[in-house]
Structure 1
Amino acid sequence: MLYGIRMLLLALHFVGVGLLGLLIGVCRPFNPANSPLFARLYAKPALRILGLDVRASIDTLHALPPGYVIVANHQSNHDLFVLGGIVPERTVSMGKKSLKWVPLFGQLYWLSGNVLVDRSNAFQARKALKATTRTLREQHTSIWVFPEGTRNPAPELLPFKKGAFQMAIDAGVPIVPVCVSHYAKGLNLNRWRSGRVEIQALPPLPTEGLGPEDIPALRQACQAQMQACIEHLDQRAAQG
């Protein structure tokens, strides 16, 4: 019963934000301020609807001026609501090109200035990578990336793809890892309090002076730090 009510309210909320967002997006298309605004519009009411308790320690995200790469683990479609409230100012994300065709959300995602990547087309993917590198370096805008490349609710992180690390090194900007406790499998939307989520932003990883040959070591170090942090967050969330 509670699950059905929540899904109905969430659907109405999703449509409402989509319509409002499209109106704003048409008035100021591709503005980097759009993405954080729309993320919060989606997230804050949705967390109340879902009954999720999100606790975030994200001082690192606000300690740096815009213009860095954020890497985070990706568990489910609910990440839009779980992470939406912590998106820093002037931050856009990278997503697959097929998102563009999701009714309302896809058009809003595009108008927000987010980067759509055709992963099946290597030339277009490289072109998008170069464009985001220029955005980092010249437009004082941060990029949010899910380095696993797909949703993964499992305890172990999937091997990170190199794109985020290549962008950061090419632009000479730091990488800020954001870790989220595993909530997707334990989420129970038939309970009034459906679950608890712990989020922590780690200290930035500098990239100045690094080159392409340093990508494997940087990628592995980042993944190891995030895996350890997520395991710690899982324990904290389980303790209530």
Structure 2
Amino acid sequence: MLKIFRIIVITLCCILICTLGTIYSLINLKNPNNVAIVARWFGRLYPLFGLKVEHRFLETLDTSKPYIYIANHQNNYDMVTISYMVRPRTVSVGKKNLLWIPFFGILYWASGNILLDRDNRSKAHSTMKQLSERINKDEISVWMFPEGTRSRGRGLLPFKTGAFHAAIEAGISIVPVVCSTTHNQVNLNRKNNGKVICEILPPIDIQGYTKENVRDLAEHCRNIMQQHIAKLDAEIAQEKLE
């Protein structure tokens, strides 16, 4: 019964956010602050899933500068956990077929996100170049999931290099954003589904990296994120014991 109630309330809330977010974004069409505003609306829904989410922001991060934010992509619950971490003047890069998702698709476009045709590799490479040019021209940051797909309990998947090519091309630092493991954590019939920690890590300088060794940069970032996710998981496990 609790699960049915939650599904109804969550669905209504998501439709409401998508509707209001679309109206707001159409009024402020493609404004780079739209994404962070709407992402935070979704990020406020976590109590409906029986979750307690702790958001750890990096106070020393200069958000007036553009960055490439890279985050781990676990499952659909990312919408109410790590989405809250999106900073102002940050847009995301997503698959072109997101446009066809009812309610969400038009919101994703209107809020100023970038749609990428991942089935066309040559076009995707061109998009990364255009992306770096837009970063410097409009002084925006970009949020990307370098795994390219949801991990669904398989751990941190190998990283694709698009985000790192864009960072090198634009000459900007990479900021990792991590979320503790949520695989199999949420049971909508259970009142309390535990704690999740989301954290922004210090920027990673891309100096010394070029397109020739971009995979080394990707692996370096992945190792940092993997180690910190394990640290967050251990912290949550220890809290449960206490």
TM-score, normalised by the number of residues in structure 1 = 0.94
1:9-158 to 2 correspondences below 5 Å: 9-44=9-44, 46-59=45-58, 62-154=61-153, 156-158=155-157
Q: Secondary structure at the match of 2:177?
A: strand
Q: Deviations over 1:79-121 (max 9, x none)?
A: 1111222210000111111101101111100111111111111
Q: What is the CA–CA distance in structure 1 between the aligned matches of 2:169 and 2:60, rounded to whole Å?
A: 21
Could you tell me which runs of 5 or more consecutive residues in structure 1 were left unpaired when the two chains were aligned.
none
Report the Cα offset of residue 64 of structure 1: 3.8
- The list of structure 1 runs, each at least 4 consecutive aligned residues, that deviate by more than 4 angstroms after superposition, is none
Change (3 A) 1:63 1:228: same
Q: Deviations over 1:42-93 (max 9, x none)?
A: 221x112112111122216843424100111101111111122221000011
Aligned equivalent of 1:223: 222
Could you tell me which runs of 5 or more consecutive residues in structure 2 were left unpaired when the two chains were aligned.
none
Identity %: 38
Q: Secondary structure at the match of 2:215?
A: helix
Q: What is the CA–CA distance in structure 2 between the aligned matches of 1:169 and 1:67, rounded to whole Å?
A: 13
Change (3 A) 1:146 1:218: same
CA contact (8 A) 1:176 1:203 kept: yes
Change (3 A) 1:48 1:127: same
Q: Secondary structure at the match of 1:21?
A: helix
Change (3 A) 1:210 1:60: farther
Q: What is the CA–CA distance in structure 2 between the aligned matches of 1:124 and 1:32, rounded to whole Å?
A: 23
Change (3 A) 1:61 1:143: farther
CA contact (8 A) 1:60 1:202 kept: no
**How many residue pairs are counted as aligned between the two chains?**
239
Report the Cα offset of residue 26 of structure 1: 1.5
One-letter code aligned to 2:189: N
CA contact (8 A) 1:71 1:147 kept: yes
TM-score, normalised by the number of residues in structure 2 = 0.93
Q: Secondary structure at the match of 1:214?
A: helix
Q: Deviations over 1:117-137 (max 9, x none)?
A: 111112321232122111222
